Amino acid sequence: MVVMNKYKKIQDELNIIGQSEKIREVIELVMSVAPTNISVLITGESGVGKEVIAKAIHELSPRRDKQMISVNCGAIPEGLLESELFGHEKGAFTGAIATKKGYFELADGGTIFLDEIGETPIQTQVKLLRVLESGEFMRVGSGELRKVDVRIIAATNRDLSRMVQSKQFRKDLYYRLKAITILVPPLRERKEDIPLLLKHFVEETLKENNVQFQGFTDDAVEVIKNYNWSGNIRELKNFAESIVILAAGKKVDAEMVRHHLHKYSDDQEFSTTLPMPVNTSVERAERELIYKALLSLGVEIRDMKEILLNMNRNIHDQVISEDVEDVSYQDEVQPMGEVEKQMIRKAMAKFNGNKRKAAQALEISERTLYRKLKEYDIE
Ligand SMILES: Nc1ncnc2c1ncn2[C@@H]1O[C@H](COP(=O)(O)OP(=O)(O)OP(=O)(O)O)[C@@H](O)[C@H]1O
Ligand SMILES: [Mg+2]
């Protein structure tokens, strides 16, 4: 019973929902590593809560009064990553107009969270290894060795051991990092947590929106519990938010859930069949993507126009042609950014937030996708 209370207190404080054996094992590990300075590697599929666990470790550690700085190693352009992490001296490179401290210096005494560590370029990995082993590093453009006291937590949804085999990730850094690994289990391995998480996300949605909600029938919860949440907690959270709004004050039954999930997976089958060149530069591929998006938009509008024409033709021949003129957007020009944003949203929804798959489908690099997600503020 004492053990139960211990978990509950920690979960309440850190907002980690779940009672399953698997999540308890994770919390147990978090509690045992938190008071130490040991670096930790957090692995697990997309959306399982790796960042939540990293924050929990920091909050339970003696460093909690200092900062935890989160760095998404995949989102920062390769050329800037080292100067962001380690800082730079004035004049170190074009544009370095003043000396700047890096995240390691800023996090001194606290924690640094290196998210998506698998995206770190190989030449930066050796510098990370050094800072991991001795706390030492040099600012870009400086020969002076600096030392900090920073606890390192890293996370990835990639298989680092395979990346080591294909020489994309340094073996020494991998062994150094993986000594303490926390594997956050996917939702399908802790189904009993689903109703608790669902309730939590529904309550959060209700707090933020002024809507009525009658809850779920028991078999609706069963359907939700048995659905394959490949985007894990993030996907369940998005689902909870939308069903609360879509239910429009009615009690949600199994049928409604199935319908919503079905519609959702239909969306996921969306695919553009237009040809796409491969082996091109990122910029070229991006440009191609935009053309492709514009093209398919044109196709959709043509189809819509045709459907409307057919529908209306039976009723009123004259009115139709005028109406159709009104709904013809063929000449309308949309801002490029808007088209790009829509495509990125669609790809992220299709792959349940899995950035690697979304980037592949969009045929842009994962780094470019990270940058654009940030730019467009897409979660
Ligand atoms: N145990 C939990 N209880 C409540 N909410 C959670 C829990 N775990 C994760 N979440 C929520 O789920 C979402 C995804 O979590 P998080 O960003 O930590 O996942 P992640 O593993 O880092 O995902 P990615 O691989 O895409 O970066 C967040 O909104 C987070 O608040
Ligand atoms: Mg994350």
Kindly state whether residue 274 falls inside one of the protein's structural domains.
no
> Does 229 have pLDDT greater than 80?
yes
**Same domain flag for 151 and 296:** no
Which position has the higher pLDDT, 292 or 111?
111
Average pLDDT over residues 91-116: 94
pLDDT band at 270 (very low <50, low <70, confident <90, very high): very low
Write out the residue range of the structural domain in which residue 17 sits: 2-185
Question: Phi-psi region for residue 24, left (φ > 0), alpha (ψ -120 to 50) or beta?
Answer: alpha
Q: Which of 268, 297, 328 is the last residue of a domain?
A: 268
- Which of the listed residues 185, 208, 226 is the one where a domain comes to its end? 185
Higher pLDDT, 110 or 379: 110
User: What's the Cα-to-Cα distance from 278 to each of 116, 130, 282, 295, 296, rounded to whole Å?
Assistant: 25, 37, 10, 18, 19
Q: Residues lining ligand 1, CB < 6 A? A: 15-18, 44, 46-52, 157, 233-234, 237, 353
Ligand nearest to the CA of 55: 1
For residue 275, tell me if it sits in a domain. Answer: no
pLDDT for position 326: 46
Task: Identify the CA nearest to 189 among candidates 29, 21, 30, 46.
Answer: 21
Q: What is the pLDDT of residue 140?
A: 95
State whether 83 and 131 are in the same domain.
yes
pLDDT band at residue 323 under the 50/70/90 scheme: very low
321 part of a folded domain: yes
Give the ligand 1 atom nearest the CA of 233. 12
Residue to substitute in 23, 30, 43, 51 for testing ligand 1 pocket (most ligand atoms within 8 angstroms of CB): 51
pLDDT for 354: 87
* Predicted pLDDT at 322: 46
Quote the ligand 1 centre to 46 CA distance (angstroms): 8
- Identify the top-confidence range among 150-159, 260-269, 337-346: 150-159
371 band by pLDDT with thresholds 50, 70 and 90: confident
Using one digit for the tens of pLDDT, what is the confidence trace for 19-54? 999 999 999 999 999 999 999 999 999 999 999 999
The residue ranking higher by pLDDT, 309 or 69, is: 69
Summarised one tens digit per residue, pLDDT across range 152-186 is 999 999 999 999 999 999 999 999 999 899 999 99
Q: For all residues of the chain together, what is the average pLDDT?
A: 85
Residue 277 counted as domain residue: no
Residues 66 and 135 in one domain: yes
Q: Give residue 298's pLDDT band: very low, low, confident or very high (50, 70, 90).
A: low
Of 99-103, 303-307, 374-378, which has the strongest mean pLDDT? 99-103
Q: In this structure, are 175 and 195 located in the same domain?
A: no
- Give yes or no: residues 94 and 165 share one domain: yes
Q: Where is the domain boundary, 157, 185, 213?
A: 185
Residue entry with tokens 């929990």: 56
Residue to mutate, 17, 52, 71, 200, ligand 1, most ligand atoms under 8 Å from C-beta: 52
Distance separating alpha carbons of residues 328 and 175, to the nearest angstrom: 60
Please give the span between the terminal C-alpha atoms of the chain, in angstroms, as a whole number: 38
The predicted pLDDT at position 203 comes to 95
Distance 3 CA to ligand 2 centre (A): 29
Same domain, 199 and 257: yes
What does the pLDDT read at residue 325? 45
Ligand 1 pocket mutation pick from 233, 239, 370, 374 by most atoms within 8 angstroms of CB: 233
Residue nearest to atom 13 of ligand 1 (CA): 234
Residue 52 lies in a domain: yes
- Percent of the chain, pLDDT > 90? 61
